[in-house]
Amino acid sequence: MGLTLADDVLGRGLALVQREIDSAFDAILPVPEDSRARLVEAMRYAVIGGGKRVRPLLVVTVAEMYGANRSGAIRAACALEAIHVYSLIHDDLPCMDDDDLRHGKPTAHKAFDEATAVLAGDSLHALAFELLADERVSADPFIRSELVLTLATASGHKGMAGGQMMDIAAETEEFDLHTVTRLQQLKTGALLMAAVEMGAILGKLPDEGRGHLRNYARDIGLAFQIADDLLDHEGDQELAGKALRKDEEQGKATFVSLMGAEAARAQAHALSEQAIGHLAQHGKEADLLRALARFVVERDR
Amino acid sequence: MGLTLADDVLGRGLALVQREIDSAFDAILPVPEDSRARLVEAMRYAVIGGGKRVRPLLVVTVAEMYGANRSGAIRAACALEAIHVYSLIHDDLPCMDDDDLRHGKPTAHKAFDEATAVLAGDSLHALAFELLADERVSADPFIRSELVLTLATASGHKGMAGGQMMDIAAETEEFDLHTVTRLQQLKTGALLMAAVEMGAILGKLPDEGRGHLRNYARDIGLAFQIADDLLDHEGDQELAGKALRKDEEQGKATFVSLMGAEAARAQAHALSEQAIGHLAQHGKEADLLRALARFVVERDR
């Protein structure tokens, strides 16, 4: 599982969230009896099992830190994960990154076909907002509406999708460290920021009290991406369950190509420590977040 | 414009909504100064200009019939149109319908490239929910949340995307009239139903008072699709601004192939009259809806 380096706290926390997310999606996505069956099967294939569920863990942990109930948080976490998974399905398409493997199994368009993969991604995208607008996330419509606004903004052209567009531009343009940082803050950082934000919304934490959580998320997001570049550079392809070293082959700027492996590693660890520092006001209830900050830089896949 | 057969009321109503929607999207989508510019340009290319804006007209007309303010309704209508347009972008992709023309101009993946088209569709999809969760649609978070729930459900695997999956299956399976009707009720009907539903939500019309509007939407949706099949069968490709007679070439079941052109035409007109009948309780304020019911079966593109 690649969790050996991380706290046992984290291993247990992730395993629990993984079970809860899988079981929620299983209930949310019954397979219909008509020709839509293939679509729902593709959605289930992509969204159940596989994936570390880091984003759901962030939502649920922050929500519970501020007293929100776990079952609503799990549904909100499913929404965030549905967005993450839809983006992976579309990202893996032949016209995008053209990847055949994801989490060690064939990508959606390989297991099904391209048209089904496009539609399964689109359907998971819609499902995310269907889940967030449902009373089972929260009885308070203001909370539901804020969750939708946060996730839609973080995943659209101002956030994740914008970062993906920059990532495509990076194949032909020469990006410096500042631009690569900005790209990654959008491409992967925006959803990690949305995760803690959604936890804070569920926990009714006022906007002005969220600064330290946003700083934490920004730091682990960047640390996560630097570690990802290091794994892409040095990692084991089999363990990763996906193709590695594609950026290098394409001559695409990464933290490793711009800083060198050693400086990148030092930077990732510094960011991880800094992230933990932002949690100083919290006691044991934030231990999972601390363990996660260590895990993102110590993982081997 | 192909509006000559329709009421002048409708021509004016559509022209006004077209201007308002275009101007709203122009303000909502400023082009950023970094590499995300290409993404936003593709979104603007697809969503500004072109399109009859039938769905926005439905939202705004129903909302105003029940006293909602027009500016909020226009933003909600932009959300619905963003969903419609994202679905067209993805539908036109080579792995889906592989179309080169839409509204008489190159499709998004032809004007840009496939990866940008996928991302532009995804970004319009997210934008729809960002718009609906924004206070400018309504100060009431319950209304915002209900709008999100309605649009997400109608566009996802239970609605539009599910219909698109059935449409792909129709290329290889033999569908009867019942199944083609169900397919079309999902593929195009679900969003038209969502349009009147969203208008009713904005106008705070209680659920139990919406039956006649849903019946109206169901009937014009089916009439619209039968007319579409007739246009596909008999229409002028240049006027349509898109490739015609593809279903016939693929041997795909349509209302025309299953009923014959004459019976299909009679059915479309009967549905149009029936739709107008559902509006009996309304006075002049529903004249646009009546004109629209006539237009959907009399249009020449």
pLDDT in tens, A204-258: 999 999 999 999 999 999 999 999 899 988 877 777 777 777 777 777 888 999 9
> In chain B, what residues touch A141 (CB-CB under 8 Å)?
141-142, 144-146
- Average pLDDT rounded to a whole number, residues A3-15: 75
Domain A8-298, classified CATH 1.10.600.10, yes or no: yes
Residues of B in contact with A161 (CB under 8 A): 39, 119, 122-123, 126
Within 10 angstroms of residue B18's Cβ, the number of other Cβ atoms is: 17
- Which among A80, A91, A95, A252 is the top mutation candidate for probing chain B, defined by the most B β-carbons within 10 Å of its own β-carbon? A95
Among B119, B187, B197, which would you mutate to test the A interface (most chain A Cβ atoms within 10 Å of its Cβ)?
A: B119
Half-sphere exposure of B125 (CA within 13 A, CB side): 35
Using the beta-carbon criterion (under 8 Å), do A118 and B93 form an inter-chain contact?
yes
Among partner residues A34, A125, A152, which is closest to B133 by beta-carbon distance? A152
Tell whether the model's pLDDT for residue B4 goes beyond 70: no
pLDDT score recorded for residue A7: 61
Q: Could you tell me the two tokens for B265?
A: 């035409």
Contacts with B141 from chain A: Cβ below 8 Å:
141-142, 144-146
Instruction: Kindly report the average pLDDT of chain A as a whole number.
Output: 93
The shortest CB-CB distance from A123 to any of B118, B129, B161 is to: B161
Phi, psi of B228 (to 5 degrees): -65, -40
* pLDDT classification of B51: cutoffs 50, 70, 90: confident
Spatial neighbors of B168 by CB under 8 A, at least 6 apart, are A115, A116, A119, B96
pLDDT band at B5 (very low <50, low <70, confident <90, very high): very low
Q: How far apart are CA A245 and CA B105, in angstroms?
A: 39
Cα–Cα dist A281/A212, whole Å: 9
What DSSP character marks residue B151?
H
Q: How far apart are CA B209 and CA B62, in angstroms?
A: 13
Q: Which residue of B has its CA nearest to A118?
A: B90
Q: Which of A119, A133, A173 sits opposite B161 (nearest CB)?
A: A119
C-alpha atoms less than 13 angstroms from C-alpha of A268 in its C-beta half-sphere:
24
- Collect all residues with Cβ–Cβ distance below 8 Å to A36 and sequence separation of at least 6: B157, B162, B165, B166
Alpha carbon distances (Å) from B133 to A38, A148, A150, A224: 31, 6, 9, 30
- First vs last C-alpha separation in chain A: 8
pLDDT bucket at B7, cuts 50 / 70 / 90: low
> Does the structure show a pLDDT above 60 at A96?
yes
H or E segment at B102?
A: strand B101-102
pLDDT at B239: 74
pLDDT digit string, tens, across residues B80-96: 999 999 999 999 999 99
Nearest to B236 by CA among B246, B226, B245: B245
Contact A35 B173 (CB under 8 A): yes
Residues of chain B in contact with residue A39, where contact means CB-CB under 8 angstroms, are: 157, 161-162, 165
Q: Which tokens sit at B189?
A: 């009907």
Structure tokens at A247: 């950026």
Å between B215 CA and nearest CA of chain A: 23
Strand pairing class (A101-102; B101-102): unpaired
Of all residues in chain A, what percent carry a pLDDT higher than 90?
Answer: 81
Give the gap in angstroms from C-alpha B198 to the nearest C-alpha of chain A. 14
Phi, psi values for residue B101, rounded to 5°: -125, 140
CA distance B148 to B234: 38
Rounded to whole angstroms, the Cα distance separating A272 from A134 reads: 35
* Cβ pair A148:B134 closer than 8 A: no
Say if CB B130 and CB B151 are below 8 A apart.
no
- A-B contacts (CB, under 8 Å): 173
Q: Looking at the predicted structure, is the pLDDT value of residue B237 above 70?
A: yes
- pLDDT exceeding 70 applies to what percent of chain A? 97
